[in-house]
């Protein structure tokens, strides 16, 4: 009888937990919209003269610039300023991204295609009336024609959240922000409250950057940025109470680049399976398995009796096709790949470190994150054909950065839960969503 009572209590606890979970998720709004790749037919950057080889070359070069960009906005430490400048002297916000998202701003709503950036913490578009605006093919948002536009003051809470990025002449004057980039370009303007439309949903009193003074080189097809980082003014942070801090994206493989990728919010963004902790913008990589029937190994772990784990802070970045590992970890990985494939890389081509003249028998790689979450990667995600060479899309980073680029993320549903600080992965065919 005692065991029956205990079992009954356990079942009751589980039922209550599930009821609370269902209650919490039922309060969340649920909606989806799409991400558009910058080189797809729907993108304003589409170039009909670009073939698949050109597309890959340009994407890889942007990855190198992206590494510089992330350092420039202090996502990673940089011990040598000369190293940043030597990588790319023209890194600007308009060149270091891969995906666009459609957002409408104001009342009446004005559609804007903006950069989808998990590495940024603000939402801004170029905005009239201009002090100094760059040429833009999309209609510029005119703040004077929006009934919902409301400039924020210097003494307000939202202005205070800008920290050193704000400029204030006096407490009740308008709040002005300035964002600076690696190539010495900058974007500044008024901080305001506005109404956003995302998918079919309207969101009022969103903190918005009316960017009306831009210095430097900007691409004329881009209206601005929608940041999805952890900062208080990012789009997802502002939507947090309505969507529970949850969003999930599913990136279609580059071989189907003209197919839209999906991004979901709220209850529809819950990804089942193991999750890994998210601290600020970082998750923790604990090792890499090189999976082969005859030669299973774990890279990044010392093979001692105590088995001391390797740990590296990693950023999931949608703004770069290529990925980066700390040099010592990359070297271990390369050595193990040589043992598994039974073939030495025949050439280093451009910024690629590991290329083969013939299609290699490339093994599955598994990225192991803290608490057991995994990314299982076949050669579809790890090597590309570039001018007849088969190249690994993982490179060493000389300052110890770990960046998991978009190719490693493709055909995975990747769910963020910012309130609980976690990221989850589920393999799926993203072109079916």
Residues classed as catalytic: 117, 317
Phi/psi at 87 (nearest 5 deg)? -75, -50
Strand 394-397 to 323-326 pairing? parallel
Asked if 356 and 346 count as a contact pair (C-beta separation under 8 A), the reply is: yes
Asked if 118 and 229 count as a contact pair (C-beta separation under 8 A), the reply is: yes
Cα distance from N-terminal residue to C-terminal residue, the chain: 50
DSSP state of 192: E
Quote the radius of gyration of the chain (alpha carbons, Å): 23
Question: Which residues touch 8 (CB under 8 Å, ≥6 apart)?
Answer: none
Q: Which secondary-structure segment (H or E) carries 114?
A: strand 110-117
- Sign (positive/negative) of CA torsion 393, 288, 324, 36? positive
Q: Which secondary-structure segment (H or E) carries 367?
A: strand 364-369
DSSP state of 198: E
Concatenated DSSP letters of 371-427: GG-EEEE-HHHHEEEETTEEEESEEEETT--EEE-HHHHTTEEEEEETTTTEEEEEE
Strand, helix or coil at 54? Answer: helix
Do you know the residue count of the chain?
433
Phi/psi at 289 (nearest 5 deg)? -95, 135
């Amino acid at each position: 009888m005692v065991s029956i009572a205990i079992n009954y209590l356990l079942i009751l606890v589980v039922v209550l937990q599930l009821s609370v979970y269902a209650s919490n998720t039922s309060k969340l709004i649920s909606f989806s919209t799409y991400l558009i790749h910058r080189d797809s037919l729907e993108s304003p950057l589409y170039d009909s003269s670009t073939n698949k080889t050109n597309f890959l070359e340009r994407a890889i070069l942007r990855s190198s610039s992206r590494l510089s960009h992330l350092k420039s906005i202090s996502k990673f430490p940089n011990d040598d300023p000369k190293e940043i400048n030597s990588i790319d002297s023209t890194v600007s916000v308009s060149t270091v991204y891969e995906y666009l998202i459609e957002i409408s701003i104001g009342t009446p709503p004005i559609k804007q295609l903006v950069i989808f950036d998990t590495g940024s913490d603000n939402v801004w578009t170029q905005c009239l009336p201009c002090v100094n605006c760059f040429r833009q093919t999309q209609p510029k948002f005119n703040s004077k024609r929006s009934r919902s536009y409301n400039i924020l003051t210097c003494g307000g809470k939202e202005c205070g959240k800008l920290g050193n990025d704000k400029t204030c002449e006096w407490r009740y004057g308008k709040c002005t922000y300035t964002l600076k980039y690696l190539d010495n370009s900058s974007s500044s303007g008024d901080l305001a409250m506005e109404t956003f439309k995302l998918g079919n949903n309207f969101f009022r009193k969103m903190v918005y950057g009316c960017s009306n003074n831009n210095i430097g080189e900007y691409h004329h097809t881009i209206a601005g940025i929608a940041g999805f980082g952890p900062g208080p003014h990012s789009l997802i942070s502002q939507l947090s109470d309505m969507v529970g801090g949850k969003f999930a994206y599913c990136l279609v493989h580059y071989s189907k680049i003209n197919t839209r990728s999906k991004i979901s919010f709220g209850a529809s963004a819950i990804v089942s399976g193991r999750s890994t902790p998210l601290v600020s913008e970082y998750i923790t990589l604990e090792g890499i398995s090189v999976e082969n029937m005859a030669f299973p190994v774990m890279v990044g772990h010392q093979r001692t009796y105590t088995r001391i784990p390797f740990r590296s802070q990693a950023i999931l970045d949608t703004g770069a096709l290529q990925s980066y590992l700390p040099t010592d970890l990359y070297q271990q990985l390369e050595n193990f790949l040589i043992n598994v494939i039974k073939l030495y890389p025949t050439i280093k081509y451009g910024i690629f470190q590991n290329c083969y003249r013939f299609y290699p028998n490339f093994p599955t790689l598994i990225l192991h994150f803290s608490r057991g979450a995994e990314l299982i990667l076949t050669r579809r995600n790890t090597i590309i054909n570039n001018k007849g060479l088969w190249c690994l899309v993982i490179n060493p980073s000389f300052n110890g950065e770990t960046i998991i680029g978009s190719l490693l993320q493709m055909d995975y549903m990747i769910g963020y839960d910012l309130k609980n600080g976690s990221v989850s992965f589920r393999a799926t065919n993203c072109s079916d969503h």
